[in-house]
Amino acid sequence: MAWSHQDKCAIVGVGSTDYYVRGKSWPRTINDMAAEAIMNACADAGISHKQIDGFSYYSGAGAGYLDKFDTASLMETLGMPHISYSATLTSGGGGCPGAIGLATAGLMNEDCTYSVTLMALQQLPQHRLGVVFGAAAPNPENSFLQPSGLVGPGHLMSVLARRHMHLYGTTQDAFGEVVMATRANTHNRPKAVRKNALTKEEYDASVMLADPLRRLDFCLETDGAVAVITTTMDRAKDCRHKPAVVHACAHGGQREWGRAFAWMGMPDPHFASSGHKFTADRVWAQSGLAAKDMDVALIYDHFSPMVLMQLEDYGFCEKGEGNDYVLSGKLRYDPATGKGVNGGTPVNTHGGNLNEAYIIGMTHIVEGVEQVRGTAINQVKDAEFALVSGGPASLPVSSLILRKD
C-alpha cells in the first residue's frame, strides 16, 4: 500500500559548515554552526530564513549526544519571526532520515510551510562521543555495560560484529573493503576529512581498538553542522533547484532490537543484524520498490560492519551473504561509467561517516538530495532513486527514499 504522503513533499535546500576534526571548531558555538548551516540551506533553496516556520529534529532534539537544540534560541539567533511546528524523534542517530518523515507530517497537516532538520555537534573533551557510555552516570541499565569495558559505541558494536562473524563466517577483510570502497569516493571532495587513498596494507596496519574493529572501522569524530529544508511540492517548484522528492519514509523497529547495543538483550538473528529489517520492509511496502531499484545507497556507517549488516536487512543480499557481497566489489562507485561495480549499487558516494565527516547521518541526506538532483560530485548516472538509512541504534531506526523529480 502506497505511503499516504508519497511524492507530496520534497527537500529543497541543503547547507553545511566546514567539517572540523574533533574539538577544532572551538571557539565557535553549537548555535553559531547551526545558524550557518540553516542560512546556507536557505540560500540553496532560494528562500529567506524568515520563511522557515517548522523544526523537525531527531535524537530528542540533540546537538551531538550531550547538547540540546532550543528552538527559541535558534529563532533569536536567526531573527526568525515565528514558528508553528517544532517536533522531534526520540533516541539517537537512527532517527536522522526519519526526521524528514516528521517534517512531511507537519507540512501535510498544514502546521508549517518550510521545515528545517538539522544537526550540529562540537566534541570538546567533556563531550566526546567515543566515550559517551563510559561518561554517563551509573544506573541499573548501563551498570551492566560499564564494568565490562564497553565505554563507547565502538566497543558495543564490536560484540555484534563478532557474533556475525561467528554465525556466518564473515571476515575482517569485508570490513576493510567497506572502508576502502567508501574512502575511494573522497579524494575529490573539498570538505572531506580523510581524502588519501587507502590500501589494504594500511587498513591492516590500523590499530585494533575493539577486536575485531580497527581504528579505521570507526567513524570519524568531527565537529560541524548540516541543515536540510523540506516543503510541499507546490512550493518546491518555485525553489532554486530541482526538488528531491520524498517518495517514502519510515521509522521504528521491533521489540527484539529495542535498545540494541545499549542493552545487549537481542536474540538471534536480531543480535547479529542492523535492526533495520522492520523499517526496510515498511519503506519497500510504502514505495512498491526493492533494493534492486535503488541507484545509490547512503548507508549509515558509524562502524564498517553495520554497513554489511544493513545491506542484508535491506535485501541487497541474503542474510549471511554480506561478506561475499562486499568482497565482490559491489559497494564501489566506478567514475568511468558513473555506475556500480559487478552489478552492485554504489554505497556512500560521498565517503560517509567513515571518511567524509560524522554529523550523525546528515551528510547522507545531503548526498541523497544531490544524487537525485544530478549535481553530486560522484554522480551516479541517471540516478532516479536514492536510499538513505539511519542507525543501527536504539529505536527508532529509519529509512528514506528520495526520488528524482
Q: Where in the sequence numbering do the catalytic residues fall?
A: 300, 358
Q: Cβ distance 106 to 54 under 8 Å?
A: yes
Cα–Cα distance for residue pair 116/216, rounded to 1 Å:
32
Cα–Cα distance for residue pair 148/125, rounded to 1 Å:
23
Distance separating the N- and C-terminal Cα atoms of the chain: 21
Q: What angle do CA 116, 109, 10 make, to 5 degrees?
A: 45
Grid coordinates representing 306?
553495520
Cα–Cα distance for residue pair 206/218, rounded to 1 Å:
11
* Bridge partners, residue 16, by sequence: 226
Can you spell out the DSSP letters for 150-176? --SHHHHHHHHHHHHHHHH---HHHHH
Give 19's Cβ-side CA count (13 Å radius).
Answer: 23
**C-alpha 102: how far from its chain's center?**
16
Can you spell out the DSSP letters for 249-272? EEEE--TTTTTGGGT--PPTTTTT
The beta strands (E) that lie in 3-128 are given as 9-16, 20-21, 54-57, 62-63, 67-68, 85-88, 114-121
Give 263's Cβ-side CA count (13 Å radius).
Answer: 15
- Beta strands 85-88 and 54-57: pairing type? parallel
> Residue 250, by phi and psi: left (phi above 0), alpha (psi -120 to 50) or beta?
beta
Size of the chain, expressed as the number of residues it contains:
405
Contacts of 127 (CB under 8 A, 6+ apart): 64, 65, 66, 67, 121
* Bridge partners, residue 43, by sequence: none
| CA dihedral sign of residues 18, 46, 96, 246 | negative
